[in-house]
Amino acid sequence: MPVQWAGLAPPLLVDLRRDGGQPLRAQLERGLRDAIRSGRLPVGERLPSSRELARQLGLSRGLVQECYGQLTAEGYLTGVVGSGTRVAAGTAAVAPPEPAPTTPATPAPRIDFASGVPDLSAFPREDWVWALREACRSVAVADLDYGDPRGDPRLREVLAGYTGRVRAAVTDRDRVVVCSGFAQGAALALQTLARAGYDRIALENPGNGDPAQSVSSRAALRIGRSLHHVPVDEEGLDVDALAASGARVVVVTPAHQSPTGVVLSAERRHALVAWARDTDGFVIEDDYDSEFRYDRDPVGVLQGLAPERVFTIGTVSKSLAPTIRVGWVLTPPAFADALAEEKRLADRGTPGLDQVALALLVESGRFDRHLRRMRARYARRRAALVDALARHAPAVALTGLAAGFHAVAHLPRGVDEQHVVAEAARRGVGLYGMSAFRVDGATTPAQLVLGFGNLSDHAVAEGIATVADLLAP
Amino acid sequence: MPVQWAGLAPPLLVDLRRDGGQPLRAQLERGLRDAIRSGRLPVGERLPSSRELARQLGLSRGLVQECYGQLTAEGYLTGVVGSGTRVAAGTAAVAPPEPAPTTPATPAPRIDFASGVPDLSAFPREDWVWALREACRSVAVADLDYGDPRGDPRLREVLAGYTGRVRAAVTDRDRVVVCSGFAQGAALALQTLARAGYDRIALENPGNGDPAQSVSSRAALRIGRSLHHVPVDEEGLDVDALAASGARVVVVTPAHQSPTGVVLSAERRHALVAWARDTDGFVIEDDYDSEFRYDRDPVGVLQGLAPERVFTIGTVSKSLAPTIRVGWVLTPPAFADALAEEKRLADRGTPGLDQVALALLVESGRFDRHLRRMRARYARRRAALVDALARHAPAVALTGLAAGFHAVAHLPRGVDEQHVVAEAARRGVGLYGMSAFRVDGATTPAQLVLGFGNLSDHAVAEGIATVADLLAP
Q: How far apart are CA B466 and CA B197, in angstroms?
A: 52
Torsion, Cα of A288, A294, A297, A301 (10° steps): -20
pLDDT for the residue numbered B6: 45
Residue B1 confidence (pLDDT): 41
pLDDT in tens, B111-132: 999 999 999 999 999 999 999 9
Percent of chain B with pLDDT over 70: 93
Asked if omega into B445 is within 30° of 0 (cis), the reply is: yes
Rounded to an integer, the average pLDDT of A333-343 is 97
| Partner-chain contact B351 A323, CB within 8 Å | yes
Answer whether B161 touches A (CB < 8 Å).
no
Q: Where are the beta strands (DSSP E) in B338-454?
A: 397-399, 406-410, 429-430, 447-451
CB contacts of A349 in chain B (<8 Å) are 325
List of chain B residues whose C-beta atoms are within 8 Å of the C-beta of residue A89: 270, 274
What single letter denotes the amino acid at residue A386? Answer: V
Ranking A83-87, B266-270, B324-328, B384-388 by mean pLDDT, the lowest is A83-87
Closest CA to A242 of A209, A212, A193, A282: A282
User: Which range among A215-224, B6-15, B432-441 shows the weakest confidence by mean pLDDT?
Assistant: B6-15
End-to-end CA distance of chain A, in Å? 70
Question: What is the pLDDT, as a whole number, of residue B37?
Answer: 83
pLDDT of the residue at B100: 54
H-helix or E-strand containing A448? strand A447-451
Report pTM: 0.89
- B325 close to A350: Cβ distance less than 8 angstroms: yes
Domains and CATH numbers, chain A: 2-87 (1.10.10.10), 111-115+369-471 (3.90.1150.10), 130-364 (3.40.640.10)
pLDDT confidence tier of residue A157, bands split at 50, 70 and 90: very high
Spatial distance between the Cα atoms of A370 and A362, rounded to a whole number of angstroms: 10
Q: How confident is the model at residue A1 (pLDDT cuts 50, 70, 90)?
A: very low
SS3 B32: helix
Tens digit of each residue's pLDDT (9 = 90 or more) over B192-231: 999 999 999 999 999 988 888 888 899 999 999 999 999 9
Smallest Cα–Cα separation from B296: which of A455, A66, A92, A89? A66
**What are the residues whose beta carbons fall under 8 Å from the beta carbon of A31, sequence distance 6 or more?**
A13, A14, A15, A16
Q: Quote the pLDDT of residue B2.
A: 45
Comparing alpha-carbon positions, the chain B residue that sits nearest to A142 is: B120
In B168-265, alpha helices (H): 182-195, 215-223, 239-245
Backbone angles phi, psi at A361, to 5 degrees: -60, -45
CB-based contact, A94 to chain B, within 8 Å: yes
How confident is the model over B85-105, as a mean pLDDT? 65
H or E segment to which residue B46 belongs: none
Using DSSP's 3-state secondary structure scheme, residue A371 falls into: helix
More confident residue, A334 or A294: A334
* B323 reaches A (C-beta below 8 A): yes
The answer to whether residue A363 neighbours chain B at the CB level (below 8 Å) is no
| Mean residue pLDDT across chain B | 91
B271 vs A387: CA distance, rounded Å? 72
**B33-37, B424-428, B458-462: which has the minimum mean pLDDT?**
B33-37
User: Is residue A373 within 8 Å of A263, Cβ to Cβ?
Assistant: no
User: For residue B84, what pLDDT is reported?
Assistant: 84
Reported confidence tier of residue B12, pLDDT bands at 50, 70, 90: low
Instruction: Taking residues A414-429, report their average pLDDT.
Output: 97
- Please report, for residues A34, A85, A375, B184, B282, the alpha-carbon distance to residue B343 in angstroms, rounded to integers and kept in the order given: 31, 43, 32, 9, 19
Residue whose C-alpha is closest to residue B175's, from B316, B301, B311: B311
SS3 A347: helix
Q: Which of A121, A172, A348 sits opposite B97 (nearest CB)?
A: A172
* Confidence band of A102 (pLDDT split at 50, 70, 90): low
Mean of per-residue pLDDT scores for chain A: 91
Q: What is the pLDDT of residue A439?
A: 93
Residue of B nearest to A301 (CA): B74
How far, CA to CA in Å, does B466 sit from each of B415, B420, B459? 16, 12, 10
Residue A304 sits at the chain B interface (C-beta within 8 Å): yes
Using a CB-CB cut-off of 8 Å, the residues of chain B touching A90 are 270, 273-274, 277, 305-306
What is the least distance, in Å, from the CA of B135 to any CA of chain A? 9
Q: Is B72 on the interface with A (CB under 8 A)?
A: yes
Chain A residues close to B305, C-beta within 8 Å: 74-76, 90-91, 94
CA distance A382 to chain B (A): 21
d(CA B433, CA B444): 10
Phi-psi map region of A173: left, alpha, beta (phi>0 left; psi -120 to 50 alpha): alpha
CB atoms B137 and A146 under 8 Å: no
Q: What's residue A101's pLDDT?
A: 57
On the question of pLDDT at A100 being above 60, the answer is no
Question: Higher model confidence: residue A159 or residue A296?
Answer: A159
Give the pLDDT of residue B424. Answer: 97
Q: Determine, for residues A99 and B174 on separate chains, whether the beta-carbon distance falls below 8 Å.
A: yes
Q: What is the pLDDT of residue A97?
A: 53
For A345, the closest of B89, B219, B349 (CB atoms) is B219
At A96, the pLDDT band (50, 70, 90 cuts) reads low
- Residues of chain A contacting B100 with CB distance shorter than 8 Å: 174, 336
Q: What is the mean pLDDT of residues A198-203?
A: 97
The minimum CA-CA distance between A56 and chain B, rounded to whole Å, is: 24
* Chain A interface includes B4 (CB < 8 A): no
ipTM: 0.89
Answer whether B96 touches A (CB < 8 Å). Answer: yes
Residues 6+ apart with CB under 8 A from A329: A176, A177, A179, A185, A188, A189, A311, A312, A313, A339
Q: What Cα–Cα distance (Å) separates residue A233 from each residue in A404, B20, B145, B444?
A: 18, 42, 30, 67
- pLDDT value at residue A216: 86
Position with higher pLDDT, B419 vs A44: B419
pLDDT, position B94: 57
Beta-bridge mates of residue B285: B252, B312
Distances (CA, A) of B39 to A303, B35, B93: 17, 6, 5
**Would the pLDDT of A83 be above 90?**
no
**Interchain pair B218, A345: CB under 8 A:** yes
Share of chain A above pLDDT 90, in %: 71
Per-residue pLDDT reduced to its tens digit, B448-457: 999 999 999 9
**Inter-CA distances, B5 with A94, B13, B34, B464, Å:** 82, 9, 15, 72
